[in-house]
């Protein structure tokens, strides 16, 4: 196995576990008898790497929270979480794979500027303002405070966050194989530990899920699944997996598609097992734990009830290391993006230091603060991101570019209204009753998909206008 050049490679769990380019081509051009085994093996490698990126330690807090709040309705909630937190993120990578890994190419029918703008929003708001700070806060509140409960927020909080960010910055600046080695050794350890916890919770549950009064568990899972941000993460990092498959020598469409589909299946099944198991664990604790549980310490308390202090401490160590690895990767990717976005006017080193300093300031707010900060962002942009992915999946059946433009515009407008609706409730502002009744009358609005039907209508109207105008489709123009 030949290590990749760290100075020229985007940080990913894939890059350093792949053989050299010549070795990859030789491997894939083996006899047709060996090809199925090779495709299966590469699907597992890329699939587990994709799982590691989507799994992110910060996302550990959401499945138990959904199960705890849903109680006896945890299965319905799991369907909602599976849709927005598992299936759609995997579909995002699949759509990008069909478009050569380029967000710009995938979204070109909307507008030339749309893809770069969406990628910029994902990088700045998802990676910079939310993902990296959340890893530091989760590492402290879920990890360190579990290992040493006496170190409550205060002086130690101000000491650990800079230390955590400092270590992740040091690794990100190095861009060496050491980063991937942490991820490669950590991921099996974390997954092994979580598998034991999941199986333990099934064989010896904390209790029986109780009715919690949650009226719409499916919607709870659906909306909370937004908080993972993995559709936008897929748009941001999907190129890593597309290039990983190509780098293994799959130049033909059939082989590439087979590995891509296999990797997506591995990722989805892994997420379903871990997220579903953690949600079940939360549901079994719905009648055991009190109402004083916060987002950050719920999983720790559940595991502590299940496996005692040894299990809780082991989970805490794994969470700290997983958070660190996630922060290193996100910092490195964002540093490279800022360097390229500024045309090398900002060096990679300077970009990483800027990202780290601002992320550290955000992390001091704590997990609950970051979750609240993320909510308006996801309400505004997540419908648009999901709409783009669905359009990409159905692109072969869409008659013209007007469908893309109309659907995307309406999805954004519906997301904007959803944000206004949420903010008005928190600010005590009452919107016109007629407007609220019209919104409630939209099909699927109670399930969190108020944008879906209007976007379909918007796409139909946009397609009709485009057809009547006689304007050419982007796909009709010569491409390089």
Q: Which DSSP string do the residues of 451-470 spell out, in sequence order?
A: THHHHHHHHHHHHHHHHHHT
Report d(CA 338, CA 340) in Å as an integer: 5
**pLDDT at site 23:** 46
Domain ranges of the chain: 6-383, 398-480
In terms of DSSP H, where are the helices of 56-111? Answer: 62-70, 74-82, 88-98, 103-106
Percent of the chain with pLDDT over 70: 85
In this prediction, residue 15 carries a pLDDT of 42
Cα–Cα distance measured from residue 455 to residue 282, given in angstroms and rounded to the nearest whole number = 35
Share of the chain above pLDDT 90, in %: 22
What integer is the mean pLDDT of 308-331? 79
Residue 20 has pLDDT above 60, yes or no: no
Tokens found for residue 271: 């997420």
> Angle at CA 296, nearest 5°, toward 292 and 302?
70
Kindly report the CATH number that applies to the domain delimited by 6-383: 1.20.1740
DSSP classification of residue 204? S
Predicted confidence at residue 177, as pLDDT, reads: 52
Task: Give the 3-state secondary structure of residue 346.
Answer: coil
* pLDDT on residue 181: 58
Lowest mean pLDDT among 2-11, 86-95, 175-184, 345-354: 2-11
pLDDT value at residue 476:
44
* Total Cβ atoms within 10 A of residue 255: 18
**What would the pLDDT profile of 99-154 be if each residue is shown by its tens digit?**
877 888 899 999 999 988 988 888 887 778 888 888 888 888 877 887 877 776 56
pLDDT at 171 over 60: yes
Place of tokens 């734990």: 289
Indicate the pLDDT class of residue 408, thresholds 50, 70 and 90.
very high
* CB-based burial label for 468 (10 Å; 0-12, 13-18, 19+): exposed
Rg (CA), the chain: 23
**Cα 364 from Cα 289, distance rounded (Å):** 27
Distance, CA of 130 to CA of 355 (rounded, Å): 12
Crossing angle of helices 452-469 and 401-427, rounded to 10°: 140
- Which is more confidently placed, 317 or 459? 459
pLDDT score of 402: 94
Q: What is the pLDDT of residues 27-62, one digit of tens each?
A: 444 444 457 788 888 888 888 778 877 776 557 778
- pLDDT value at position 182? 52
Give residue 31's pLDDT.
45
Q: What is the total residue count of the chain?
A: 480
List CB contacts of 129: < 8 A, sequence separation 6 or more.
Answer: 362, 373, 377
Q: Please name the residue that has the structure tokens 């310490």.
A: 297
| pLDDT for residue 125 | 78
Examine the pLDDT at 440 and tell me if it is beyond 90.
no
C-alpha distances out from residue 167 to 327, 328, 346, 439, Å: 10, 9, 22, 48
Q: Higher model confidence: residue 188 or residue 73?
A: 73
Higher pLDDT, 163 or 319: 163
∠ CA(104), CA(107), CA(113), 5° rounding? 60
CB 332 within 8 A of CB 158: no
| Token pair belonging to 361 | 């300031």
Confidence of residue 365 (pLDDT cuts 50, 70, 90): confident
Nearest to 450 by CA among 219, 107, 122: 219
Calpha distance 373→409 (Å, rounded): 24
pLDDT at position 400 = 92
Return d(Cα 426, Cα 10) in angstroms, integer.
41
- The whole-number pLDDT of residue 184 equals 63
Q: What are phi and psi of 18, to 5 degrees?
A: -105, 150
Kindly indicate the confidence band of residue 16, based on its pLDDT and cuts at 50, 70 and 90: very low
Q: Is the pLDDT of residue 189 over 60?
A: yes
Question: By mean pLDDT, which of 265-269, 364-368, 393-397 is the weakest?
Answer: 364-368
Least confident of 5-14, 129-138, 181-190, 392-401: 5-14
Q: What is the pLDDT of residues 323-349, one digit of tens each?
A: 887 788 788 878 888 888 888 899 989
Compute the distance between CA of residue 418 and CA of residue 406 in angstroms, rounded to an integer: 18
Alpha-carbon span 183 to 11, nearest angstrom: 11
Least confident of 143-147, 280-284, 464-468: 143-147
Cα 140 off chain centre by: 21
User: Are the C-beta atoms of 226 and 88 separated by less than 8 Å?
Assistant: no
Q: Which residue has the higher pLDDT, 373 or 411?
A: 411
- Answer whether 249's CB lies under 8 Å from 24's CB: yes
Span 446-452, average pLDDT? 80
Instruction: Provide mean pLDDT across the span 384-411.
Output: 92
- Token digits for 434? 């007629």
The pLDDT score that the predictor gives to residue 56 is 66
Average pLDDT, the chain: 80
Task: Identify the band that residue 255 occupies on the pLDDT scale cut at 50, 70 and 90.
Answer: confident
Token pair for 416 = 């904007």
Residue 461 has pLDDT above 90, yes or no: yes
pLDDT, residue 180, reads 56
Above 60 in pLDDT, residue 374?
yes
Cβ-based burial of 290 (10 A; exposed 0-12, middle 13-18, buried ≥19): exposed
pLDDT at 237 over 90: no
pLDDT at 207 over 60: yes
User: In the prediction, which pLDDT does 303 show?
Assistant: 86
């Amino acid at each position: 196995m030949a290590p990749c050049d760290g100075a020229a490679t985007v940080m990913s769990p894939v890059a350093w576990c792949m053989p050299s380019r010549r070795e990859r081509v030789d491997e894939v051009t083996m006899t047709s008898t060996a090809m199925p085994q090779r495709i299966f093996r590469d699907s597992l490698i890329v699939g587990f790497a994709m799982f590691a990126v989507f799994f992110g330690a910060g996302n550990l807090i959401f499945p138990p929270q959904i199960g705890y709040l849903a109680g006896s309705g945890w299965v319905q909630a799991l369907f909602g979480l599976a849709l927005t937190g598992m299936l759609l993120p995997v579909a995002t990578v699949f759509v990008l794979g069909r478009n050569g890994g380029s967000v710009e190419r995938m979204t070109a029918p909307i507008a030339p500027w749309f893809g770069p703008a969406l990628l910029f929003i994902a990088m700045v708001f998802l990676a910079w303002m939310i993902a990296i700070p959340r890893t530091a806060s989760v590492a402290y509140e879920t990890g360190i405070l579990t290992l040493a409960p006496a170190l409550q927020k205060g002086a130690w909080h101000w000491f650990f966050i800079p230390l955590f960010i400092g270590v992740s910055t040091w690794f990100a600046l190095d861009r060496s194989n050491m980063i991937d080695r942490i991820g490669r050794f950590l991921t099996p350890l974390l997954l092994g530990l979580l598998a034991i916890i999941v199986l333990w919770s099934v064989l010896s549950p904390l209790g029986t899920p109780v009715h919690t009064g949650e009226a719409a568990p499916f919607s709870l899972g659906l909306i909370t699944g937004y908080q993972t941000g993995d559709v936008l993460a897929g748009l941001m990092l999907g190129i890593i997996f597309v290039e990983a498959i190509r780098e293994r020598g799959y130049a033909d469409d059939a082989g590439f598609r087979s590995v891509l589909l296999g990797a997506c299946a591995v990722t989805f099944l892994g997420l379903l097992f871990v997220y579903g198991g953690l949600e079940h664990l939360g549901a079994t604790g719905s009648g055991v734990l009190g109402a004083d549980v916060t987002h950050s310490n719920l999983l720790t308390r559940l595991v502590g009830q299940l496996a005692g202090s040894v299990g809780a401490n082991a989970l805490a160590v794994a969470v700290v290391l997983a958070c660190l690895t996630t922060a290193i990767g996100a910092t490195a990717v964002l540093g490279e993006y800022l360097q390229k976005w500024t045309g090398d006017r900002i060096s990679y080193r300077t970009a990483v230091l800027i990202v780290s300093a601002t992320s550290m300031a955000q992390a001091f707010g704590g997990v609950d603060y970051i979750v609240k900060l993320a909510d308006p962002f996801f309400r505004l942009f997540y419908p648009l991101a999901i709409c783009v992915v669905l359009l990409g999946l159905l692109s072969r059946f869409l008659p013209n570019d007007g469908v893309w433009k109309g659907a995307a515009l309406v999805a954004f407008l519906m997301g904007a209204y959803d944000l206004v609706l949420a903010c008005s409730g928190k600010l005590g502002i009452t919107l016109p009753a007629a407007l609220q009744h019209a919104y409630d009358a939209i099909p699927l609005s109670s399930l969190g998909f108020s944008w879906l039907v209007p976007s379909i209508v918007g796409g139909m109207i946009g397609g009709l206008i485009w057809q009547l105008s006689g304007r050419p489709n982007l796909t009709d123009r010569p491409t390089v």
